[in-house]
Amino acid sequence: MLAVSICVFVLDFFVKKFTYGINVAFINNFFGFYYGENVGIAFSLPVPVLASVFLTSILIVGFTYFVFRNFDLNKSFGLVVAGLILGGALGNLYDRIVYGYVRDFISVWKWPSFNIADSAIFCGALALLIFFDKIVLGKNKK
């Protein structure tokens, strides 16, 4: 879990660094790379920076507790899923603390811009929802 979290965090950090100021469109503007600064939280919902740092920190601690309490830590798939979510959350938390906003750069059609950290959180959360019964400990299955 730690290895996946670190990989996601480092990849997100360096990609954000190299995409500063980028503005490139593909496929008739359906997809592109456009650097942006998101002061809000999910889907660009406006929230004060201090509140988003606090909320993100609480969610990270709560999710980590949930993982250690409920995941089957002997199964690597669950650890990868948790690592994706935690690494992405830490990447965006870093941006909020250091810059006061999250650096986004991926644009798809009319969807709000996002980044590698957001993608990792989304993929991890989707996998958690789909494979929940295979990830949690047997005692939690009903």
Active site residues: 104, 118
Amino acid identity, residue 118? D
Helix axes 76-99, 116-130, angle to 10 degrees: 150
Cα dihedral 84, 85, 86, 90, rounded to 10, equals 100
Burial of 33 (0-12, 13-18, 19+ CB in 10 A): middle
> What are the distances in angstroms from CA 97 to CA 51, 108, 140?
11, 27, 36
